[in-house]
């Protein structure tokens, strides 16, 4: 890894992913996780304090970046009553058995995972029958003028923000990969540039 990827990008992402508007979005989905939970791309552990430990028996914190795991460990130590197991792996290769988790959580990671179809296939594989997928993401805006600028800026965003896409549409990706969105909402985030701040959140189940 280069100097930027190793020393600059992790704190930059940590800061960007823990702003007040982003935390409000996380709070809309993470507390609904239940049972054995797979969090795909836990990053620096921003979600750990939002889980309801009375309803969650274990969190498998999946993260391919060792630097991020080091940051997340500190938050894991502070998360009282939460059993967290780190897995240094990508979403496209989850080291868990089939039908082994009750909830899969994606928060501001669908934009970044390169093989997103493979990651969603893995999410579908590890979910137990009747399990759920919770998501809170940003993505392509419905307004053509904003979307045009997102397309223009996406190459720069991907370079500076660890591969983050601006134009992906989470519900569309979920439905393309065998899920049905049962409770989905959208909005422009306050105090956030519109090209970065069209938010999607909700719940999905295996179709």
pLDDT tens per residue, range 98-149: 999 999 999 999 999 999 999 999 999 999 999 999 999 999 999 999 999 9
Residue recorded with tokens 């660890």: 162
Are 187 and 199 contacting, i.e. CB atoms less than 8 angstroms apart? yes
Torsion of CA 113, 167, 172, 104, to 10 degrees: 30
pLDDT over threshold 90, residue 87: yes
DSSP assignment, residue 131? E
Name the residue with higher pLDDT: 38 or 10. Answer: 38
What pairs with residue 107 in β-bridges? 136
| 0.75 exceeded by pTM | yes
């Amino acid at each position: 890894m280069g100097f930027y990827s190793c020393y600059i990008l992790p704190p930059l992402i940590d800061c960007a992913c823990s702003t007040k508007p982003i935390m409000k979005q996380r709070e809309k989905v993470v507390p609904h996780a239940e049972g054995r939970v797979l969090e795909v791309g836990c990053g620096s552990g921003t979600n750990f304090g939002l889980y309801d430990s009375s309803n969650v028996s274990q969190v498998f914190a999946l993260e391919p970046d060792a630097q991020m795991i080091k940051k997340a460990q500190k938050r894991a130590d502070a998360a009282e009553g939460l059993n967290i197991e780190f897995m240094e792996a990508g979403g496209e290769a989850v080291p868990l058995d089939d039908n082994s988790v009750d909830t899969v959580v994606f928060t501001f990671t669908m934009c970044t995972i390169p093989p997103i179809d493979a990651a969603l296939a893995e999410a579908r594989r590890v979910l137990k029958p009747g399990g759920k997928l919770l998501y809170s993401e940003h993505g392509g805006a419905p307004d053509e003028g904003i979307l045009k600028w997102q397309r223009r800026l996406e190459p720069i965003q991907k370079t500076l923000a660890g591969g983050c896409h601006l134009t992906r549409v989470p519900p569309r990706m979920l439905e393309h990969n065998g899920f049905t969105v049962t409770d989905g909402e959208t909005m422009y985030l306050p105090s956030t540039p519109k090209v970065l701040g069209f938010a999607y959140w909700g719940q999905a189940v295996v179709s």
